Structure 1
Amino acid sequence: MTHTSRHTLAVLLLIVALVSSPALASFERPAASVASEAQPSLDDPEAVEAWLDETMAAQLERHHVPGATVVLVHEDEIALAKGYGYADLDTRRPVVADETVFSVGSTGKLVTWTAVMQGVEDGRLDLDRDVNDYLADSAVSVPPTYPEPVTLRHLGTHTAGFEDVFAGMVADDPGEIRPMDQILADQRPARVSPPGAFVAYSNYGTALAGHVVAETADTPFVEQVDERIFMPLGMANTTYAQPLPARLDPHRATGYTYQNGGYQAHPPLVWTLPPEGGSLRTTGADMGQFMLAHLNEGAVGGERILSAESVREMHSRQVTKSERVPELNGMAFGFIEMDRNDERIVGHWGDTPRFTSLLALYPERDLGLFVVYNAPGGGTARFELLDAFTDRYYPRSDTPAVDPPTGATDRARALTGDYRSLTVSTSSWERLLGVTTRTYTVEATDDGSLRTTRLGAPTQTWVERRPGVYEAVGGSDLLVFEYDDEGRATHLFFDSFGPSTYERVPCYERLTVLQTGLGAGVLGFASVLLLWLAGPLWRRWRGHDAPDDRERAAHWLLGTVSLLWLAVLVIFLLAWLDFNAEAASPSLALQTGKLVRWVALAGTVGAVVATGLAWRDEYWTRPVRVHYTVVTAAAVVVAWQLSLLGVLPL
Structure 2
Amino acid sequence: MKAFLKRHSLVVGLILMFLYTWTIDLSNSGVLPFKVPFFVAMTLGWGFIFASLFMTWLTLDKNEAVKLFKRFFLWSVGWKWWMVALLLLPALRFAALLLTALLTGVPADFSRPMIRDVVPLDAPLLMLVVPWIIFEILTNGEEMGWRGYVLPRLQAKYNALIASLIVGVIWAVWHLPKFFGTGLNGEGSFAWFTVAHLALAVLYTWLYNNTRGSLLLVTLFHASGNTFGMFMPAKFAVTGGILFNLEIVFFCHRRHRCGPRRGRGASLADGREAGTELKPIKKKSLSIHEETRLKTRRRNNMSTPKVISILKRPAVFILTLTLLLSVVAPVAAGTGGAASGEGMPISLNHAQGPTDAAEMETFLDDLITRQMDEYHIAGAAVAVVKDGQLFFAKGYGYADVENKIPVDVETTIFRTGSVGKVITWTAVMQLVEQGKLDLDADINTYLDFRIPDTYPQPITLKHLMTHTSGIEDRWLESVTQNADELMTEREWLVANFPGRVRPPGEAAGYSNYNAMLGGYIVARVSGEPYEEYIQKHIFDPLGMTHSTVQPQMPADLLPFVSRSYTYADGAFQSFPDYLTQSAVLPSGFHQTSVTDMARFMIARLEGGFYGDESNEMRILEEDTARQMLTTLYTPDPRMRGTAYGMFDFTDNGQWVLGHEGYAPVMLSQLLLLPDQHLGVYVVYNSLGARDGGLTPQHVGFQRAFFDHYYPAPAVEPTQPPADFAERAELFAGFYRAANSHATTPEKVVGLLGGFTIEVTAPGDGTLLIPMEGLELRFVEVEPLYFRQVDGSFTLVFREDDKGNITHLFTDIQPQNGFVKLGWYETPGFNMVLIQVCLLILLSMLPVGVIRAIRNRLASRSARAADSIIFGICLLNALFLVGLAIWFRPMHPSELHSLSLTVEIVMGLGVLAGLLTPVALVYTMLVWKHRYWGVAYRVYYTLVTVAAVGFVWFLHYWNWLGWRY
Regarding TM over 0.5, the answer is: yes
Residues 521, 398 of structure 1: alpha-carbon distance in 2 compared, 3 angstrom cutoff: same
Amino acid paired to 1:342: G
Asked if residue 360 in structure 1 is aligned to residue 671 in structure 2, the reply is yes
Which range moved further: 563-572 or 275-284?
A: 563-572
Kindly indicate whether the alpha-carbon contact (under 8 Å) linking 2:889 and 2:895 is maintained by their aligned counterparts in 1.
no
- CA offsets 1:349-379 (integer angstroms, 9 cap, x no match): 1012321111111112111111101122593
Which residue is equivalent to 2:760? 443
Q: Which secondary structure state, in structure 1, belongs to the residue aligned with residue 745 of structure 2?
A: coil
Q: 1:188 aligns with which of 491, 497, 501?
A: 497
Amino acid paired to 2:603: A
Paired with 1:400 and 1:566, the residues of 2 have a C-alpha distance of 56
Which residue is equivalent to 2:128? 11
- CA offsets 1:187-225 (integer angstroms, 9 cap, x no match): 001101111111000100110010011111121011111
Which residue is equivalent to 1:50? 362
Q: CA deviation at 1:426?
A: 2.0
Kindly indicate whether the alpha-carbon contact (under 8 Å) linking 2:478 and 2:897 is maintained by their aligned counterparts in 1.
no
Q: 1:581 aligns with which of 893, 902, 924?
A: 893
Which range moved further: 118-127 or 386-395?
A: 386-395
Amino acid paired to 1:217: S
- CA offsets 1:84-105 (integer angstroms, 9 cap, x no match): 1221222222111111111110
Which residue is equivalent to 1:491? 807
- CA offsets 1:589-615 (integer angstroms, 9 cap, x no match): 221133222221110000001111111
Asked if residue 392 in structure 1 is aligned to residue 708 in structure 2, the reply is yes
Which range moved further: 579-588 or 88-97?
A: 579-588
Residues 401, 350 of structure 1: alpha-carbon distance in 2 compared, 3 angstrom cutoff: farther
Asked if residue 331 in structure 1 is aligned to residue 638 in structure 2, the reply is no
Kindly indicate whether the alpha-carbon contact (under 8 Å) linking 2:666 and 2:684 is maintained by their aligned counterparts in 1.
yes
Asked if residue 460 in structure 1 is aligned to residue 775 in structure 2, the reply is yes
- CA offsets 1:526-577 (integer angstroms, 9 cap, x no match): 12111112225655xxxxx821100000100000011112223333444244
Which residue is equivalent to 1:23? none
Asked if residue 246 in structure 1 is aligned to residue 555 in structure 2, the reply is yes
Q: 1:620 aligns with which of 932, 944, 958?
A: 932
Q: Which secondary structure state, in structure 1, belongs to the residue aligned with residue 679 of structure 2?
A: strand
Amino acid paired to 2:927: W
Paired with 2:911 and 2:134, the residues of 1 have a C-alpha distance of 20
Query: Aligned ranges for residues 62-101 of structure 1 at < 5 Å?
Result: 62-101=374-413
Kindly indicate whether the alpha-carbon contact (under 8 Å) linking 1:256 and 1:263 is maintained by their aligned counterparts in 2.
yes
Which residue is equivalent to 1:230? 539
Q: How many residues align?
A: 627
Kindly indicate whether the alpha-carbon contact (under 8 Å) linking 2:749 and 2:889 is maintained by their aligned counterparts in 1.
no
Residues 38, 93 of structure 1: alpha-carbon distance in 2 compared, 3 angstrom cutoff: closer
Q: 2:919 aligns with which of 563, 587, 607?
A: 607
Which residue is equivalent to 2:511? 202
Paired with 1:440 and 1:122, the residues of 2 have a C-alpha distance of 42
Amino acid paired to 1:278: G
Paired with 1:36 and 1:469, the residues of 2 have a C-alpha distance of 32
Q: Which runs of 5+ in 1 are unaligned?
A: 19-28, 540-544
Asked if residue 515 in structure 1 is aligned to residue 826 in structure 2, the reply is no
Residues 3, 93 of structure 1: alpha-carbon distance in 2 compared, 3 angstrom cutoff: closer
Kindly indicate whether the alpha-carbon contact (under 8 Å) linking 1:15 and 1:518 is maintained by their aligned counterparts in 2.
no
Kindly indicate whether the alpha-carbon contact (under 8 Å) linking 2:428 and 2:518 is maintained by their aligned counterparts in 1.
yes
Which residue is equivalent to 1:158? 467
Question: Which structure shows the bigger proportion of residues in helix conformation?
Answer: 2
Provide the identity percentage. 33
Q: Which secondary structure state, in structure 1, belongs to the residue aligned with residue 565 of structure 2?
A: strand
Residues 68, 248 of structure 1: alpha-carbon distance in 2 compared, 3 angstrom cutoff: same
Paired with 2:949 and 2:112, the residues of 1 have a C-alpha distance of 26
Asked if residue 316 in structure 1 is aligned to residue 627 in structure 2, the reply is no
Asked if residue 568 in structure 1 is aligned to residue 907 in structure 2, the reply is no
Which residue is equivalent to 1:303? 617
Paired with 1:232 and 1:515, the residues of 2 have a C-alpha distance of 54
Kindly indicate whether the alpha-carbon contact (under 8 Å) linking 1:30 and 1:475 is maintained by their aligned counterparts in 2.
no
Amino acid paired to 1:60: M
Paired with 2:132 and 2:953, the residues of 1 have a C-alpha distance of 13
Q: CA deviation at 1:173?
A: 4.2
Which residue is equivalent to 2:599? 289
Residues 400, 82 of structure 1: alpha-carbon distance in 2 compared, 3 angstrom cutoff: farther
Q: Which secondary structure state, in structure 1, belongs to the residue aligned with residue 380 of structure 2?
A: strand
Amino acid paired to 1:504: K
- CA offsets 1:377-434 (integer angstroms, 9 cap, x no match): 5932233222332333333223275986655544433322211111122222121123
Q: CA deviation at 1:475?
A: 6.1
Q: Which runs of 5+ in 2 are unaligned?
A: 1-93, 95-109, 114-122, 136-340, 689-693
Higher gyration radius (CA): 2
Greater RCO (CA < 8 Å, at least 6 residues apart): 1
Q: CA deviation at 1:227?
A: 0.6
- CA offsets 1:294-339 (integer angstroms, 9 cap, x no match): 111111131211111211222110111223xx23x31011111132
Which range moved further: 311-320 or 242-251?
A: 242-251
- CA offsets 1:487-536 (integer angstroms, 9 cap, x no match): 33222233221101111111111112111111111111112111112225
Kindly indicate whether the alpha-carbon contact (under 8 Å) linking 1:102 and 1:252 is maintained by their aligned counterparts in 2.
yes
Kindly indicate whether the alpha-carbon contact (under 8 Å) linking 1:429 and 1:647 is maintained by their aligned counterparts in 2.
yes
Paired with 2:402 and 2:812, the residues of 1 have a C-alpha distance of 37
- CA offsets 1:134-181 (integer angstroms, 9 cap, x no match): 11xx3x321110111111111011000011121221212456432111
Paired with 1:148 and 1:218, the residues of 2 have a C-alpha distance of 28
Kindly indicate whether the alpha-carbon contact (under 8 Å) linking 2:732 and 2:761 is maintained by their aligned counterparts in 1.
yes
Query: Aligned ranges for residues 21-40 of structure 1 at < 5 Å?
Result: 39=351
Kindly indicate whether the alpha-carbon contact (under 8 Å) linking 2:477 and 2:896 is maintained by their aligned counterparts in 1.
yes
Q: Which secondary structure state, in structure 2, belongs to the residue aligned with residue 339 of structure 1?
A: strand
Which range moved further: 503-512 or 250-259?
A: 250-259
Residues 582, 43 of structure 1: alpha-carbon distance in 2 compared, 3 angstrom cutoff: closer
Kindly indicate whether the alpha-carbon contact (under 8 Å) linking 1:104 and 1:281 is maintained by their aligned counterparts in 2.
yes
Kindly indicate whether the alpha-carbon contact (under 8 Å) linking 1:109 and 1:275 is maintained by their aligned counterparts in 2.
no
Residues 461, 403 of structure 1: alpha-carbon distance in 2 compared, 3 angstrom cutoff: farther
Residues 409, 66 of structure 1: alpha-carbon distance in 2 compared, 3 angstrom cutoff: farther
Which residue is equivalent to 1:24? none
Q: 1:417 aligns with which of 728, 733, 736?
A: 733
Kindly indicate whether the alpha-carbon contact (under 8 Å) linking 1:322 and 1:482 is maintained by their aligned counterparts in 2.
no
Which range moved further: 523-532 or 398-407?
A: 398-407
Kindly indicate whether the alpha-carbon contact (under 8 Å) linking 2:652 and 2:791 is maintained by their aligned counterparts in 1.
no
Residues 153, 233 of structure 1: alpha-carbon distance in 2 compared, 3 angstrom cutoff: same
Amino acid paired to 1:13: V
Paired with 2:572 and 2:735, the residues of 1 have a C-alpha distance of 35
TM-score, length-normalised on structure 2? 0.61
Which residue is equivalent to 1:258? 567
Paired with 2:832 and 2:367, the residues of 1 have a C-alpha distance of 44
Paired with 2:717 and 2:573, the residues of 1 have a C-alpha distance of 43
Kindly indicate whether the alpha-carbon contact (under 8 Å) linking 1:274 and 1:280 is maintained by their aligned counterparts in 2.
no
Paired with 1:174 and 1:343, the residues of 2 have a C-alpha distance of 47
Q: CA deviation at 1:69?
A: 0.9
Which range moved further: 1-10 or 148-157?
A: 1-10
Q: CA deviation at 1:346?
A: 0.8
Asked if residue 349 in structure 1 is aligned to residue 660 in structure 2, the reply is yes
Paired with 2:746 and 2:882, the residues of 1 have a C-alpha distance of 13
- CA offsets 1:598-639 (integer angstroms, 9 cap, x no match): 221110000001111111111111111111111101111111
